[in-house]
């Protein structure tokens, strides 16, 4: 059942997801012990290949690997001159020569972790590839939701914000749907593609979305770094239209809804300051659960394969890359 790589959520089977969530529960129990380390990955090496900066995910993986007694190395790729596809291939050859067991990779280009996975014996974990997938984020989100709703079937999660650029939205919605959770999107018209799957209803205003009666409101981070293209007129306007304002927080509190956010939060944009103290905010739970989920993933994967091509979600959709009759 174990796999070499974790590249996406779409190709994960339900049993695999349940297994990882169960394992995460066990690992999380460890956190209360005085010795938090176990020797599961002793002698193994984990290489962190972050082409995009990310303190949160990076350190979460690092802590997870160390708690499993693995050796962690950071490959210095933060410099833009070597972030292009061509040099990635050269890097892969170097990595293969280093015989590392795990590679945790983040890159702005979708599909790039899969490309690495096909060319190394190491287990590759996608820590975010462009707007494509962020599987461990999805798993930790699902885990966090399951802590509140042990049987999440039929629960509703409203994801608000920049769907267009969000790998979190894609991975998390895919995973939640696999667990029987209903997902809906709300966001600016310029940031919610009209081609989202029909299984995900799309709301155009906050009131209509609330009338859908979500159990969880999941706020996406507004990518402030995308200032070269203007997707909405101003941050103030965004907060007013799509943010959790003080007034909206009161309504959310009345209804007892949970709030989630993948972090880091832009205060005053996605949400007002008061949300940070809201008793049903799960934002810090998400961070904590990130470690146990990543431990479960590292422990589950099996490095050393013969460059297998992972079954992709596309294969699941029965689309073949072979020539087929038009």
- Give which of 254, 192, 257, 182 is closest to 220, Cα–Cα: 192
Number of residues that bind other proteins (CB under 8 A): 36
Q: Is 56 annotated as a binding residue?
A: yes
* Contact residue for other proteins among 4, 170, 239, 261 (CB under 8 A): 170
Which one among 129, 141, 182, 299 touches other proteins, defined by CB under 8 A? Answer: 129
88 binds other proteins (CB under 8 A): yes
321 binds other proteins (CB under 8 A): yes
Close Cβ partners of 55 (under 8 Å, ≥ 6 residues apart): none
Query: Across the beta sheet with 202-203, what order do the strands follow?
Result: 202-203, 182-186, 156-160, 216-219, 258-260
Q: Which is nearer to other proteins, 134 or 146 (CB)?
A: 134
Sign of CA dihedral 237, 238, 239, 242: positive
58 binds other proteins (CB under 8 A): no
**Is 221 an interacting residue with respect to other proteins (CB under 8 A)?**
no
Between CA 154 and CA 173, with CA 316 as vertex, the angle to 5 degrees is 35
Question: Contact, 186 vs 158, CB < 8 A?
Answer: yes
Does 81 sit near other proteins (CB under 8 A)?
no
Find the shortest distance in angstroms from Cβ 314 to other proteins: 4
Nearest residue to 95 (alpha-carbon basis) of 71, 73, 120: 120
Residues that bind other proteins in the complex, under the rule CB under 8 A: 84-86, 88-89, 107, 109-112, 114-115, 129-133, 164, 167, 170, 193, 195-197, 312-315, 319-326
> Can you say which residues are annotated as belonging to the binding site for carbamoyl phosphate?
56-57, 106, 134, 137, 263-264
Task: Please report, in range form, the residues annotated as the binding site.
Answer: 56-57, 84, 106, 134, 137, 167, 221, 263-264
């Amino acid at each position: 059942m174990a796999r070499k790589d974790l590249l996406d959520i779409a190709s994960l089977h339900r049993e695999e997801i349940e297994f990882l969530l169960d394992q995460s529960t066990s690992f999380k129990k460890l956190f209360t012990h005085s010795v938090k380390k176990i020797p599961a990955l002793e002698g193994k090496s984990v290489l962190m290949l972050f082409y995009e900066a990310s303190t949160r995910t990076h350190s979460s993986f690092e802590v997870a690997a160390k708690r499993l007694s693995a050796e962690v190395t950071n490959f210095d790729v933060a410099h833009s001159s070597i972030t292009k596809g061509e040099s990635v291939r050269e890097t892969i050859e170097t990595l293969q020569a280093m015989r590392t067991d795990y590679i945790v990779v983040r890159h702005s280009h979708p599909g790039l972790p899969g490309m690495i996975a096909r060319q190394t014996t190491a287990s590759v974990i996608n820590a975010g590839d462009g707007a494509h997938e962020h599987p461990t984020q999805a798993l930790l989100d699902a885990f966090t939701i399951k802590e509140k709703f042990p049987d999440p079937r039929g629960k509703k999660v409203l994801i608000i914000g920049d769907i267009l650029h969000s790998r979190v939205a894609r991975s998390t919605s895919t995973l939640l749907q696999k667990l029987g959770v209903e997902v809906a999107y709300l966001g600016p018209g310029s940031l919610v593609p009209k081609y989202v799957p029909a299984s995900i209803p799309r709301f155009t205003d906050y009131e209509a979305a609330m009338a859908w009666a979500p159990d969880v409101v999941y706020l996406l981070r507004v990518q402030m770094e995308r200032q070269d293209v203007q997707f909405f007129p101003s941050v103030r306007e965004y907060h007013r239209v799509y943010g959790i304002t003080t007034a909206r927080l009161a309504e959310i509190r009345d209804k007892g809804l949970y709030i989630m956010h993948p972090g880091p939060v832009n205060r005053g944009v996605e949400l007002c300051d008061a949300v940070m103290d809201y008793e049903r905010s799960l934002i810090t739970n998400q961070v904590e659960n990130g470690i146990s989920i990543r431990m479960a993933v590292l422990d589950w994967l099996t490095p050393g394969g013969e460059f297998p091509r992972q079954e992709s979600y596309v294969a699941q959709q029965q689309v073949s890359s072979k020539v087929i009759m038009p």
